[in-house]
Amino acid sequence: MRYLSAVILLFFVSMALVIAASPEDKSTGIVEVLVTFQDPNPIIPWQRGPVSSRRGYGILLQGGRILTVESLVHNAKMIEVRKAQSAVKIPAKVELSDKDCNLALLTAQDNSKISNLLPVEFADKAGLKDKVSIMQFDETAKLQTGDGDIILVSANQQSQIPVFVINYKVQTDLSINGIGSPVFIGDRLLGIVSGSGQKSIDIIGFPSLKRFMDDYATAPYEGIPTSGLKGKLLLDPSIRKYLGVPDDKGVMVLGTAPFSPANGKLLLHDIILSIDGYDIDNLGFYNDPLLGRLFFPYIINGYKKNGDTAVFKVLRDKKEVVVVVPLSRFDDNKYYIPEEDGPEDSEYLVTGGLIFRELSGRFLKAMGSRAESSNIYKLNYLLNTAYDNPPQPGQKVVFILTVLPDDINIGYQNINNQIVTAVNGQPIRSIDDLFAIKDKDGAISTVSLDGIGVDIVLDKSGIGLADKKIATQFGVPFIQYRKGHKGAANE
* 192-198-201 Cα angle (round to 5): 15
| pTM for the full predicted model | 0.86
In sequence order, which residues have a C-beta less than 8 Å from that of residue 442 and are 6 or more positions away? 460
**Per-residue model confidence (pLDDT) at position 147:** 97
Instruction: Choose the weakest-confidence range: 81-95, 233-247, 286-300.
Output: 233-247
Residue 13 counted as domain residue: no
Distance from C-alpha of 490 to C-alpha of 476, rounded to nearest angstrom: 8
| DSSP symbol at 162 | S
Residue 370 counted as domain residue: yes
Same domain, residue pair 427 and 357? yes
Same domain, residue pair 209 and 266? no
In sequence order, which residues have a C-beta less than 8 Å from that of residue 437 and are 6 or more positions away? 423, 424, 426, 428, 444
Alpha helices in 61-169 (DSSP H): 70-73
Among candidates 223, 258, 260, which has minimal Cα distance to 99?
223
> What is the pLDDT averaged over residues 313-321?
94
Q: Do 136 and 108 form a contact (C-beta atoms < 8 A)?
A: no
Same domain, residue pair 93 and 156? yes
Instruction: Choose the weakest-confidence range: 101-105, 176-180, 189-193, 241-245.
Output: 241-245
Band of pLDDT at residue 309, cut at 50, 70 and 90 = very high
* pLDDT above 90 (res 332): no
* pLDDT above 50 (res 490): no
* pLDDT above 80 (res 96): yes
Condensed to tens digits (0 to 9), the pLDDT of residues 157-182 reads: 988 778 999 999 999 999 999 999 99
Out of 21-25, 334-338, 358-362, the most confident range is 358-362
> What is the pLDDT averaged over residues 203-209?
97
Condensed to tens digits (0 to 9), the pLDDT of residues 232-263 reads: 998 888 888 888 898 889 999 988 887 788 88
95: how many CB neighbours lie within 10 A of its CB? 12
Residue 489 counted as domain residue: no
Phi, psi of 394 (to 5 degrees): 85, -5
**Cβ-defined contacts of 125-129 (< 8 Å, 24+):** 126/150, 126/153, 126/168, 126/185, 126/190, 126/205, 126/206, 127/153, 127/292, 128/152, 128/153
Give residue 29's identity as a one-letter amino acid code: G
* Percent with pLDDT over 90 in the chain: 69
* pLDDT above 70 (res 17): no
**Per-residue model confidence (pLDDT) at position 342:** 67
Instruction: Look up the CATH number of the domain holding residue 300.
Output: 2.30.42.10
What's the domain range around 126? 23-223
**Per-residue model confidence (pLDDT) at position 12:** 40
**Per-residue model confidence (pLDDT) at position 20:** 38
Same domain, residue pair 292 and 418? no
More confident residue, 388 or 115: 115
* pLDDT above 50 (res 6): no
* pLDDT above 70 (res 409): yes
Instruction: Look up the CATH number of the domain holding residue 92.
Output: 2.40.10.120
* Percent with pLDDT over 70 in the chain: 89
Out of 237-251, 294-308, 359-373, the most confident range is 294-308
**Per-residue model confidence (pLDDT) at position 312:** 97
Strands 103-108 and 90-98: antiparallel
> What is the pLDDT averaged over residues 47-56?
94
Band of pLDDT at residue 412, cut at 50, 70 and 90 = very high
Same domain, residue pair 59 and 121? yes
**Per-residue model confidence (pLDDT) at position 486:** 54
Condensed to tens digits (0 to 9), the pLDDT of residues 439-456 reads: 999 999 999 999 888 899
Residue 488 counted as domain residue: no
Band of pLDDT at residue 18, cut at 50, 70 and 90 = very low
Distance from C-alpha of 483 to C-alpha of 491, rounded to nearest angstrom: 21
Instruction: Look up the CATH number of the domain holding residue 394.
Output: 3.20.190.20
Band of pLDDT at residue 3, cut at 50, 70 and 90 = very low
Count of structural domains, the chain: 3
Residue 16 counted as domain residue: no
* pLDDT above 90 (res 281): yes
> What is the pLDDT averaged over residues 391-396?
80
Domain end, chosen from 304, 329, 354, is at 329
* pLDDT above 80 (res 183): yes
**Per-residue model confidence (pLDDT) at position 386:** 65
More confident residue, 270 or 383: 270
Same domain, residue pair 44 and 115? yes
Same domain, residue pair 345 and 235? no
Q: Do 415 and 399 form a contact (C-beta atoms < 8 A)?
A: no
Same domain, residue pair 324 and 348? no
Same domain, residue pair 251 and 382? no
Across the chain, mean pLDDT equals 88
SS3 letters across 324-347? EEECEECCHHHCCCCCCCCCCCCC
Among candidates 267, 266, 327, which has minimal Cα distance to 300?
327
**Per-residue model confidence (pLDDT) at position 156:** 94
Distance from C-alpha of 280 to C-alpha of 265, rounded to nearest angstrom: 19
* pLDDT above 50 (res 1): no
> What is the pLDDT averaged over residues 377-393?
69
Domain end, chosen from 272, 301, 329, is at 329
Same domain, residue pair 75 and 175? yes
Domain end, chosen from 329, 352, 384, is at 329
**Per-residue model confidence (pLDDT) at position 374:** 53
Same domain, residue pair 151 and 267? no
